[in-house]
């Protein structure tokens, strides 16, 4: 039961409130007790001075007038001392008063001091001593009051008040805890659905607190996982299609070769097709393995220092059979650039980009390759005047097996993995790659790589 977050919140709140109530009762008891004593002493002094002033103004020679005035204070116990410290009059219930008055206290009051004192013994008592004169002789008036009952009443009031706070606070926390825990319970239920492959979950929230941030992050995660699952399924479908297509061709042409009535030239043509499809399967396998290896989070690079401009030239020279076959022109504008990077992987990067440009550029087309230093890195741009790429496809062309408008030119072969490999190589070198294009006119790939 206590494993539930809801129950834990309730217990923590109740425990915190009860501890706070105990501590506040102790603190408030001490604070308000002092204030109560001070208030009562001030009130006693005020009442005593009022009686003394009335006595002085009316019958300064008649002690009975003073005594009758003192009797009018039924809430107080009063003791009157003469100039030699002897008690000459007492009023009130002296049996409940345990406050002893010693000689020093009487003498101080007779000398004109005002005395204040408090004593706790069964009941709480407070006492004040006031000096005054009768017939020119100093006298001392001590007034004692019991405030234990009032203190208990105030303590009961505060206890009831705190209990009411506890009661209403408990009801409030029961409601609030559900408000806090419910989104977490919903997220927990949603994670169970996600574990079963349901990524169509979305929570609408307007909260700006931590729960709101958690819900927003969960929605983002569910969306990303949904996209990832969609890409995974699409990837499997694309791989299956890319594999099935050459296999179907190989199977069909193999069955055709089994026919006895076939001339030698037809047989060789079918064997060439089978060889091409086999090579296509081999390239697909190699690209998939390379894409998989580049996908490792902590893939180590074999970094060395080399001339990047010479590397690009060598890749173009190695690609000469492809661009010469289509009578294409290569324009180079490369400055001397030295870089520290994985030489083998960058060769693969330039090979894929240049092969793409050759593939999608028509007969007698032009491909421009430029290189320059930019800030703390180098930039290589490859521009062709081929088919171009629609702007809405810019972010998709780097996804595995994605092909721009597959129906436009079925003579262009490819498995759609090359640009995915290119982007991953650039990312591994902490670089950037972007594409700009004008449909039907030109396409430019820009690659930025830091020098170190």
Q: What is the pLDDT of residues 103-120, one digit of tens each?
A: 888 888 888 898 888 765
Long-range Cβ contact pairs of 85-93 (< 8 A, separation 24 or more): 85/110, 85/140, 89/63, 91/67, 92/144
- The pLDDT-based confidence of 216 (bands split at 50, 70, 90) is confident
Give the pairing type, strands 329-334 and 366-374. Answer: parallel
pLDDT above 90 covers what percent of the chain?
15
Token reading at 144: 């004692």
pLDDT tens column, 1-33: 445 666 777 777 777 777 877 777 677 666 666
Count CA within 13 A, CB hemisphere, residue 177.
17
When pLDDT is averaged across residues 157-180 and rounded to a whole number, the result is 76
96 has a pLDDT exceeding 90: no
pLDDT at 410: 42
* CA-based radius of gyration for the chain: 49
Write down the pLDDT at residue 383: 94
The pLDDT, as a whole number, for residue 407 is 40
- Neighbouring residues of 88: CB distance < 8 A, sequence distance ≥ 6: 80, 81, 82
In this prediction, residues 412-440 reach a mean pLDDT of 82
Interatomic CA distance for residues 43 and 55, integer angstroms: 18
Average pLDDT over residues 97-102: 68
Split at pLDDT 50, 70, 90, the class of 58 is low
Helix and strand numbers (H, E) in the chain are 10, 12
| DSSP, residue by residue, 39-66 | HHHHHHHHHHHHHHHHHHHH-TT-HHHH
Report the candidate in 422, 429, 434 with the shortest Cα–Cα distance to residue 287: 422
CB-CB neighbours of 427 under 10 Å:
12
Separation between Cα atoms, residue 405 and residue 408, nearest integer Å: 6
Smallest Cα–Cα separation from 449: which of 343, 316, 292, 290? Answer: 343
For residue 150, give the 3-state DSSP assignment.
Answer: helix
The pLDDT, as a whole number, for residue 195 is 80
In this structure, what token pair is assigned to residue 364? 């007698």
Instruction: Find how far residue 365's CA is from the centre of its chain.
Output: 54
What is the pLDDT at residue 436?
A: 92
Among 34-48, 177-191, 284-298, the least confident range: 284-298
Residue ranges of domains in the chain, CATH in brackets: 5-152 (3.30.450.20), 197-297 (1.10.287.130), 299-450 (3.30.565.10)
pLDDT of 299 reads 62
| pLDDT for position 241 | 66
pLDDT tens-digit map of 305-329: 999 999 999 999 988 888 889 999 9
Q: Using CA atoms, how far apart are residues 443 and 16, in angstroms rounded to an integer?
A: 67
Coil, helix or strand for 183? helix
User: Is 137 in a helix, a strand, or coil?
Assistant: strand
Q: Is the pLDDT of residue 62 over 90?
A: no
pLDDT for position 444:
94
Confidence grade of residue 154 (pLDDT, cut at 50, 70, 90):
low
User: Which residues have C-beta within 8 Å of that of residue 57, sequence separation ≥ 6?
Assistant: none
Calculate the CA 329 to chain-centre distance. 55
Q: Which candidate, 446, 420, 421, 443, places its Cα nearest to that of 432?
A: 446
Residues linked to residue 307 through DSSP beta bridges, in sequence order: 338
pLDDT for res 449 = 94
255-264, 290-299, 400-409: the lowest-pLDDT one: 400-409
Helix ranges (H only) for 59-93 are 63-71
pLDDT tops 80 at residue 395:
no
**Residue range 413-440: mean pLDDT, rounded:** 83
Residue pLDDT, tens place only, 331-359:
999 999 999 998 988 988 998 899 889 98
- Average pLDDT of the chain is 78
pLDDT band at 244 (very low <50, low <70, confident <90, very high): confident
Structure-model confidence comparison of residues 153 and 93, the more confident one: 153
- Considering only CA atoms, which of 254, 28, 53, 61 is closest in space to residue 154? 28
Q: Return d(Cα 115, Cα 128) in angstroms, integer.
A: 5
N- to C-terminal Cα separation, the chain: 58
Name the band, by pLDDT with cuts 50, 70 and 90, for residue 413: low
Question: 258 or 432, which is more confident?
Answer: 432
In angstroms, the CA 64 to CA 81 distance is: 14
pLDDT for 373 beyond 70: yes
């Amino acid at each position: 039961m206590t494993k539930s977050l809801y129950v834990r919140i309730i217990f923590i709140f109740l425990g915190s409130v009860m501890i706070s109530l105990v501590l506040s009762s102790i603190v408030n008891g001490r604070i308000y007790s002092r204030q109560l004593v001070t208030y009562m002493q001030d009130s006693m002094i005020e009442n005593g001075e009022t009686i003394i002033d009335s006595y002085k103004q009316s019958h300064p020679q008649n002690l009975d007038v003073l005594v009758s005035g003192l009797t009018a204070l039924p809430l107080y116990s009063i003791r009157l001392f003469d100039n030699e410290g002897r008690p000459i009059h007492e009023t009130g219930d002296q049996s409940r008063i345990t406050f002893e008055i010693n000689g020093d206290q009487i003498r101080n009051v007779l000398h004109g001091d005002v005395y204040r004192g408090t004593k706790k013994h069964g009941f709480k008592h407070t006492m004040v001593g006031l000096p005054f004169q009768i017939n020119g002789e100093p006298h001392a008036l001590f007034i004692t009051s019991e405030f234990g009952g009032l203190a208990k009443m105030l303590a009961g009031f505060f206890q009831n008040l705190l209990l009411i706070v506890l009661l209403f606070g408990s009801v409030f926390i029961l409601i609030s805890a559900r408000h806090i825990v419910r989104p977490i319970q919903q997220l927990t239920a949603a994670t169970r659905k996600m574990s079963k492959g349901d990524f169509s979950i979305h929570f609408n929230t307007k909260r700006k607190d931590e729960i709101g941030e958690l819900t927003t992050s969960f929605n983002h995660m569910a969306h990303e996982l949904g996209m990832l699952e969609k890409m995974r399924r699409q990837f499997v479908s694309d791989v299956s299609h890319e594999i099935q297509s050459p296999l179907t061709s190989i199977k069909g042409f193999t069955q055709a070769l089994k026919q006895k009535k076939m001339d030698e030239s037809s047989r060789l043509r079918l064997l060439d097709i089978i060889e091409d499809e086999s090579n296509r399967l081999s390239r697909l396998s190699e690209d998939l393995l390379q894409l998989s290896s580049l996908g490792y989070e902590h893939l180590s690079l074999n970094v060395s220092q080399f001339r990047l401009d010479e590397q690009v030239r060598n890749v173009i020279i190695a690609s000469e059979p492809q661009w010469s076959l289509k009578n294409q022109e290569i324009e180079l504008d490369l400055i001397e650039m030295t870089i520290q990077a994985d030489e083998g992987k960058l060769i693969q990067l330039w090979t894929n980009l240049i092969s793409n440009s050759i593939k999608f550029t028509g007969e007698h087309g032009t491909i421009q390759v430029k290189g320059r230093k930019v800030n703390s890195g180098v930039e290589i741009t490859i521009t062709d005047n081929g088919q171009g790429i629609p702007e809405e496809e810019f972010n998709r062309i780097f996804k595995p097996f994605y092909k721009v408008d597959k129906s436009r030119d079925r003579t262009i072969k490819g498995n759609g993995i090359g640009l995915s490999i290119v982007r991953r190589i650039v990312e591994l070198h902490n670089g950037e790659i972007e594409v700009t294009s004008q449909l039907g006119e030109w396409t430019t790939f820009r690659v930025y790589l830091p020098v170190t």
